[in-house]
A and B are shown apart, each in its own frame.
Chain A
Amino acid sequence: MSGTQASNASNRILLPVRQSFIVFTLFAAVLANLIPFGRFPGIPDWVALTLVFWCIHQPLRIGMGTAFILGIVMDVADASVLGQHSLAYVVLAFAGAAFSRRILWFPLSQQALHILPMLLVTQLVMVAARMTGGAEFPGVLWFLSSFTATALWHPLTHILLLPQFQPEDKDVHRPI
Chain B
Amino acid sequence: MSVAGHAPPPFFRRGLAPVARLIFFLSLALALLITDLRFRTLEWVRLGVATAAWPLQRAAYLPIDAGGDVSSFFSRMSTLVAENEQLRLQQLNTANLLLRQRHLEDENRRLRVLLEMRERHPVEGRIAEILYAARDPFARRVIIDKGSQHGIEAGQAVVDEIGVIGQVVRVFPLTAEVSLLTDKEQAIPIQVQRNGLRAVLEGAGAGTMELRFLATNAEVEVGDVLITSGLDGVYLPGLPVAKVIEIDRSNSYSFSRIRCTPLAGVERRGLVLVLGSRTNLPERPEESVTEVKNKRSNSSAKIKAERRQR
Query: Which of A's residues lie within 8 Å of B, judged by CB?
Result: 30-39, 60, 63-65, 67-68, 71-73, 76-84, 86-87, 90-91, 94, 97-98, 126-127, 129-131, 133-139, 142
A63 near B63 with CB under 8 A, answer: no
List chain B residues, Cβ under 8 A from A79. Answer: 134-136, 139, 141, 143, 170, 177
Binding stretch for chain A, among B26-34, B70-78, B120-128, B151-159: B26-34
B30 near A82 with CB under 8 A, answer: no
Of B18, B37, B56, B134, the residue contacting A98 (CB under 8 A) is B18
List chain A residues, Cβ under 8 A from B185. Answer: 134-135
B18 near A97 with CB under 8 A, answer: yes
Per the bound structure, the CA–CA distance linking A127 and B139 in Å amounts to 12
With an 8 A cutoff between CB atoms, is B205 at the interface? Answer: yes
27 pairs, A vs B, C-beta closer than 8 Å: A31-B59, A31-B60, A34-B56, A35-B61, A36-B61, A36-B134, A38-B133, A39-B133, A64-B25, A72-B32, A72-B45, A76-B45, A78-B134, A79-B135, A81-B37, A82-B36, A82-B42, A82-B46, A87-B29, A87-B30, A91-B26, A129-B33, A135-B185, A136-B184, A136-B205, A138-B138, A142-B137
Interface secondary structure of B, over-half rule: helix
Closest to B16 in A: A64
List chain A residues, Cβ under 8 A from B26. Answer: 87, 90-91
B interface size (C-beta, 8 A): 47
Q: How far is the CB of B140 from chain A (nearest CB, A)?
A: 8
B22 near A134 with CB under 8 A, answer: no
With an 8 A cutoff between CB atoms, is B279 at the interface? Answer: no
Lowest 6 A-B CB distances belong to which pairs? A83-B32, A36-B132, A34-B60, A83-B33, A136-B205, A138-B137
A34 near B57 with CB under 8 A, answer: yes
Per the bound structure, the CA–CA distance linking A45 and B128 in Å amounts to 29
Check A133/B37 contact, CB under 8 A, given A34-B60, A39-B137: yes
Closest to B60 in A: A34
Q: How far is the CB of A92 from chain B (nearest CB, A)?
A: 11
List chain A residues, Cβ under 8 A from B28. Answer: 68, 86
Interface secondary structure of A, over-half rule: helix
A35 near B63 with CB under 8 A, answer: yes
List chain B residues, Cβ under 8 A from A84. Answer: 33
Closest to B24 in A: A64
Per the bound structure, the CA–CA distance linking A17 and B127 in Å amounts to 50
A64 near B22 with CB under 8 A, answer: yes
Interface centre among B50, B57, B137 (most CB of A within 10 A): B137
Interface centre among B37, B132, B136 (most CB of A within 10 A): B136
Per the bound structure, the CA–CA distance linking A161 and B237 in Å amounts to 61
Q: How far is the CB of A112 from chain B (nearest CB, A)?
A: 23
List chain B residues, Cβ under 8 A from A65. Answer: 21, 25
Q: How far is the CB of B39 from chain A (nearest CB, A)?
A: 11
List chain A residues, Cβ under 8 A from B133. Answer: 36, 38-39
Check A136/B60 contact, CB under 8 A, given A79-B170, A82-B32, A91-B26: no
List chain B residues, Cβ under 8 A from A135. Answer: 138-139, 184-185
List 8 other contacts, CB 8 Å, given A32-B60, A60-B14, A77-B135: A34-B53, A34-B60, A35-B64, A36-B133, A64-B21, A72-B45, A76-B50, A79-B141
Per the bound structure, the CA–CA distance linking A31 and B204 in Å amounts to 32
Per the bound structure, the CA–CA distance linking A83 and B27 in Å amounts to 10
